[in-house]
Chain A
Amino acid sequence: MAQLFRRRSNSIARTSLVAIVAFFGASAWVLHAVYWSPWTTRQDNPLPQPVPFSHKHHVRGLGLDCRLCHTTVETSAFAGMPSTETCMTCHSQVWKDAPLLAPVRDSFAANAPLRWNRVHDTPDFVFFNHGIHVAKGIGCASCHGEIDQMPLTRQSHSLYMKWCLDCHRQPERFIRPRDQVFSSDYEPTNQASLGKQLVADYHVRTAQITDCSMCHR
């Protein structure tokens, strides 16, 4: 009786074994790569906006405070988006005929709101609150990155839960004095000792802030 399998079969079988492992490995790697890629997280990916608003110009260049426009960042879950009226406070005087600002003027004239694309978007089952983060000494830049360097606003971090937990597990690595929350130039020299001190001073409940119920309800 002739051999059922040729000699070649051995190598096919061996190769297949490797190939199967490699295939699943590669698939896993691809899924992982896609999941963490900026394509999925929208990280570092400026979105088109009705007006190409530049934080770099307004914050770095003009030195405006975050709270001038994001008025409710200290009091509400939502940081607040400036009303058209806020824009027009200056832009009825400055650059009042700039073609780039036409949508703002139109919005004000027609009483029709601007529709911005949301850059930082957490899923609907996540309840983030700006007010408490500001009150506990988490700087804007800790989550929003070097927004003062961005000509077009983009998301600096993945906003995945793992990233949130990096801080919720070790707030002392990121906490800063309350008076430095809105600063773009804050450079701590002694974060290791200062962080621990601030966590204690600001009564950050370190055990509690990793509870599911902190963000999900």
Chain B
Amino acid sequence: MIDDPRSPRTAGSRPPAGDPRSAIWRSLSELSDPKHFRELTRDEFLPGASELNRFNRRNFLKLMGASLALAGLPACTRQPLEKIVPYVRQPEELVPGRPLYFATAMTLGGFATGLIAESHEGHPTKLEGNPGHPASLGATNVFHQAALLDLYDPDRSKAVLKDGRPDTWENFVAALNGIVRPTGKGRGLRLLTETVTSPTLYSQVQKLRERFPGLTWHRFEPIGRDNVREGAKLAFGEIVETRFHFDKTSVVVSLDSDFLYSHPDSVRYARDFSARRRARPAQTEMNRLYIVESAPTITGANADHRLPVRHADIEPFARALAIGIGAISDPALRLPPPVFEKWITTLKDDLLSCRGRSIIIAGDNQPPVVHAIAHHLNHFLGNVGNTVEFIAPAEPEPVDQLASLRQLADALQNGDVETLVILGGNPAFTAPAEMRFADSLKHAKFTAHLSPDVNETSARCDWHVPQNHFLESWSDARAFDGTVSVIQPLILPLYQGRSAHELLDALFAAPGRTDYDIVRDHWNSQNPGADFESRWRQALHDGFIADTASPPKKVGLRSSGIPASHGDPAGLEITFRPDPTLLDGRFANNGWLQELPKPIVQLVWDNAAYVSPALARQKDLANGDVIELSLDQRHIRVPVWITPGQPDDSVALHFGYGRQHVGQVGRNTGTDVYPFRTSATFWTAHGVALKKTGGNHHLVTRQAQQVIDSDERQILREGTFEQFQRRPDFVRRDSESPVETLFNPPGSPGDGYRWGMAIDLTACIGCAACTLACQAENNIPTVGKDQVAAGRIMHWIRVDAYFRGTPENPAVTHQPVPCMHCEQAPCEVVCPVAATMHDQEGLNVQVYNRCVGTRYCSNNCPYKVRRFNFFDYADYTTPGFKPMRNPNVTVRWRGVMEKCTYCIQRISAARITAEEQDRRIRDGELRTACQQVCPTEAIVFGDLNDPDSRVTRLKAHPLNYLMLGQLNTRPRTTYLAKLRNPNPGLT
């Protein structure tokens, strides 16, 4: 319906009219059939979006006329009576109606990111980054934003289960101790965790080992970093973590590393990276990013030069680069494809001219040898100590997790495991297929699983214990740089959950300590002293313990050098990647993440095998066609998506979808590719047979929705840093003088505020954190796959992706589009009930209680930023969602239009505070949700009447331009043109 699945087949084979290199395009179907695409762009909503399923408006009216008349009557009822329920004893610091903020932290893959949680009368309603925390610097990624929804998820596990039937925690503790205690030293006792960086949990494990010497501790993450650890061992002989300082870097070479989006420290890296990229007048340098990657990623979209190659070709590339530069020597070099030659000579010059100011970073999915080569290169180029430093890993006793899980699986099958306690994770779903982990679980005498939801592993364990959300429990964890972060709860457990600390504590003689006692006692024992209380309070206030980052470590390169390469694998390649929004599947029941368009392809609610346009042509594949992949007697059926920029002969598969034991949101979404993923093919496999099955799966993408129909320069302006240096205002046209008018222009400077926004496209990386932050802040509902297909997605700020160049390797530019808050808004003049109008501060406001749902406004909006509640998308009935909502934003009902408000509730709060103190709102005091979350500070909001505000200065920036400025809508949201810094040697 959206992206006509049949049309892309011809993409590439039939070049579009005009030179594809100079035109931007939104999807492959636009390239192949611009006329049809143009028709799609005409209206705000897609054809058919305004029609109820199977009914058109006329039939609807015929059938429902009488009902409609009657339906009007309930509006005449009185308001229902409401209660006021004051506290019995009101907490001292709490002012009802004003939020409180607490520092906490969230872990992903074991690494902590500091957060500030906003709490309204005891319920957390929003998570923001902690500005003081080194992994956050005030920003977050999409997962931190969406974690809030997990807390209130009605499908969470609510009770202890024994063989699937409700039981009690006390019975569980008795049963666990009943089986472990009699063994004395803990024979056959196994513990399986995810990556643990929590000092408290680690000390508990250590104590547990003393108590039960027979205990074996296994660790496993499906998005493992074994390659990073092995790579460090290969290069240095010991496991060290590499920290990069992108803020000091001029040239970055990424070897398949998506460090701007999926690295444990990506929020921080994105900030540092953009610091060297932002265009300022009289700037002399801008950093340059080269990437060689095996599937399109966010980082690839931000690269100045991108080379799509097979996963297997990255090692030869790295080797050839290192040899070319002289960092390593290897006589048995597998000759790289000729396309590399130009790259390598160019890179060599660029890197050698920036000694000590470059970074070579290898992706977590690349084999250890690539990491080792990167280490050699960084050493050779003098980066170590400047842009690269080594620290002890945040994880204590790091292990090879794949081997660790294999030992456990073998032990299970050999019957060596009596008791297995699994803390978190979902190994029955995520373990490599050949281990048959799910089936092996039954060989243990006693299995228990601590998990936030009843998942595939819980279903196969004897006992399931609900795990508390991080906003419900005390814990601690280390950030990527080692900083100890305190995880502080915001709310008492909503259900009968327990934390990992409490579960381990249950194995000791005197259980019953709460996780607060456990964490506090641990730190008290670490820092005894009279001033512990004050330091503890300081750490809770800050969210982290100051000066606990790991100090830089000195490591020397091993003399043995780099092992020789293994030769060129043949045949079709597949790569495994975590799903960009569900990760390993843990967020499968999170509607916000399910509906967040995936980077580049903008698919929602599904995963797909990414194939290149050439491969699709060769195999006669169209979007959604189901293919069968076969390797070593394993088969998998998965729909394909023809992805611009995907390397030929390589198919990218995303794991995390297709969960069987999952709540109602994640049910029947996507395809499970884990059964195809083994230890041998953990990240990649070769010689895969691809067969078209003839089936088709309906995939939904947002890519061709809300398309602005205009010529390219009106939407997106791009250029190079060189152009900017030569003529800073090169994006402007002489013809862009203001339209002359006899009337006073609206929104003239007055003594009030004049709100405006500037979005720096050079800084924007397209991570879509703004979309989710807005969703959480503004009570925006999700609508589901079918509704997205009908063009009814509700996001107030969308991140458009534009492609430029050939489908084989296009340049991708992201553009966040919120409401433009036009000073001469086309939506306002067509509203028959004046439900959308201007206020004194220049906001284009939407008055929900006036709106009658004519949708004339969205029809007249050239930016297509208005969203209509075609149904009651907001869930009024689920009681669990009520405390999640922002109490300062109306929950919209069916039949009203909505759109970005510039976070009017925040403006209002800041204005009232300022007025009460008889002053003006200070610049920076007020930030919109999208601005606050942005890792690269690409979005700046403020008062245009303040000549010194950041936004006023950006509006005067030579790169500033108006989207669709020729319409004379005078948008308050403007853009700074996208700059890239290509190397002339490669263009």
Contact = CB atoms under 8 A, between A and B. Distances in A.
Interface of A: 34, 39-40, 42, 47, 72, 75-78, 80-86, 107-108, 111-118, 121, 123-125, 127, 129, 131-132, 135-136, 203, 205, 207-208, 211-214, 216-217
Contact of B78 (A40, A72, A78, A131): A40
Given A40-B78, A123-B79, A129-B912, A114 B843 contact: no
Interface string B452-486: 00000000000000000000000000000000000
Interface string B876-920: 000000000000111100000000010011001000100110100
A212 B845 contact: yes
Contact of B82 (A86, A113, A121): A121
8 shortest interchain CB distances as A-B pairs:
A78-B97, A76-B97, A81-B86, A211-B839, A83-B90, A77-B97, A208-B840, A83-B87
A211 B841 CA distance: 9
A85 B849 contact: no
State the majority secondary structure of interface residues on B.
loop
A158 to B, nearest CB: 12
Interface in B906-945: 908, 912, 915-916, 918
Contacts of A131: 912, 916
Contacts of B890: 124-125, 216-217
A208 B752 contact: yes
B70 interface: no
B849 A72 contact: no
Interface in B819-865: 837, 839-841, 843, 845, 847-850
A211 B845 contact: yes
Nearest to B847: A212
Interface string B310-342: 000000000000000000000000000000000
A136 B82 CA distance: 28
B916 A135 contact: yes
For A39, A77, A83, A212, the residue with the greatest tally of chain B CB atoms inside 10 Å of its CB is A212
Contacts of A39: 78
Interface string B66-99: 0000000000101101111111111000011110
Nearest to A204: B915
B840 A75 contact: no
B96 A76 contact: yes
Given A76-B95, A208-B752, A83 B81 contact: no
Nearest to B98: A76
B81 A118 contact: yes
Contact of B96 (A40, A78, A117, A136): A78
20 contacts: A77-B97, A80-B95, A84-B87, A86-B90, A107-B88, A113-B85, A113-B88, A114-B86, A116-B86, A123-B849, A135-B915, A205-B752, A208-B840, A213-B845, A216-B847, A216-B849, A217-B888, A217-B890, A217-B901, A217-B908
B904 A213 contact: yes
Contacts of B849: 123, 125, 216
B589 to A, nearest CB: 28
A118 B83 contact: yes
B96 to A, nearest CB: 5
A80 B121 CA distance: 12
A110 to B, nearest CB: 9
Contacts of A127: 888, 905, 908
Nearest to A78: B97
A216 to B, nearest CB: 5
Interface residues of B, number: 40
B915 A136 contact: yes
A72 B97 contact: yes
Given A40-B78, A208-B841, A116 B904 contact: no
B79 A121 contact: yes
A18 to B, nearest CB: 26
A125 B90 CA distance: 27
B691 to A, nearest CB: 55
B780 to A, nearest CB: 14
Given A113-B85, A217-B890, A85 B752 contact: no
B748 to A, nearest CB: 13
A40 B85 CA distance: 24
B869 to A, nearest CB: 14
Contacts of B916: 131-132, 135
B848 A216 contact: yes
Given A123-B849, A203-B915, A208-B839, A72 B95 contact: yes
A77 B88 CA distance: 20
Given A80-B96, A208-B841, A85 B89 contact: yes
Contacts of B912: 129, 131-132
Contacts of B86: 80-84, 113-114, 116
Nearest to B838: A211
A132 B752 CA distance: 17
Contact of B889 (A117, A136, A207, A217): A217
Contacts of B840: 205, 207-208, 211
Contact of B915 (A114, A125, A132): A132
B99 to A, nearest CB: 10
Most buried by A among B76, B839, B891: B839
A212 B839 contact: yes
A188 to B, nearest CB: 23
Contacts of A78: 96-97
Nearest to B839: A211
A29 B843 CA distance: 38
Contacts of B841: 208, 211, 213
A112 B98 contact: no
B904 A217 contact: yes
Contacts of A115: 83-85
A75 B98 contact: yes
B839 A83 contact: no
A84 to B, nearest CB: 4
B918 A111 contact: no
Nearest to B88: A84
A183 B905 CA distance: 31
A118 B82 CA distance: 5
B4 to A, nearest CB: 39
Given A47-B81, A72-B97, A212 B837 contact: yes
Contacts of B905: 127, 217
Contacts of B85: 113-116
A136 B76 CA distance: 35
A211 B888 CA distance: 17
B756 to A, nearest CB: 16
A203 B918 contact: yes
Given A76-B96, A132-B916, A213 B843 contact: yes
A75 B95 contact: yes
A107 B840 CA distance: 47
A205 B904 CA distance: 17
A117 to B, nearest CB: 6
A118 B889 CA distance: 21
Contacts of B98: 72, 75-77
B616 to A, nearest CB: 47
A136 B912 CA distance: 10
Contacts of A125: 848-849, 890
B457 to A, nearest CB: 39
A129 B453 CA distance: 40
